[in-house]
Structure 1
Amino acid sequence: MVVRYLGVNEVAARTGLSPNTVKSYSGIPGRMPQPDAMIGRVKGWLPETIDRWMERRSSGPNMPPGADWR
């Protein structure tokens, strides 16, 4: 089974955010989910992780720092 991770540009396209915003958010603890994978300095998220984050993000205020988005 091949696991497919979303990169910054794919997360941006999926969320409607700019790639720069995704990069910025990913550097702020608790602002968005931690990456599901890291290859060197390249971050990758599972589509489900981003979808859950977007659902929670649209239903209320941001979760507190350290919150588990998964």
Structure 2
Amino acid sequence: MTTRYLSLNGVAERVGISPTTAKTYSDDGRLPAPDAIIGKEPRITRGWLPETIDAWNAARPGRGGRPRKEPRNEE
């Protein structure tokens, strides 16, 4: 059975971000470590299992800014 990995473009499509953002996230360590690396520097290809990206996406904080503040009780 062949294992299928997501490329940066696949990651971007799966979580709804641009491919440029996915590359930035990968380069600065915001994406999890890849599950597979093919080739050698400077032309490597990184791959992530869909379940790796799904778990990362479910655990990451809110999108596009700070997490929402809890409403204050004015009692």
Flag whether TM exceeds 0.5 (same fold): yes
Provide the rounded CA distance (Å) in 2 between the counterparts of 1:36 and 1:28: 17
Question: Larger % of helix: which?
Answer: 1
Relative contact order (alpha carbons < 8 A, sep ≥ 6): 1 or 2 greater? 1
Deviations 1:20-62 (A, max 9, x none): 1110110113x11011001121110000000000110147x8x
Query: Unaligned regions of 5+ residues in structure 2, if any?
Result: 67-75
Residue 28 (str. 1) matches residue 28 (str. 2): yes
Larger gyration radius, structure 1 or structure 2: 2
Query: Unaligned regions of 5+ residues in structure 1, if any?
Result: 62-70
- The aligned residue for residue 48 of structure 2 is 45
Structure-to-structure mapping, 1:1-70, within 5 angstroms: 1-29=1-29, 31-40=30-39, 41-58=44-61
**Paired-residue identity, %:** 54
Structure 1 segments (4+ residues) deviating >4 Å = none
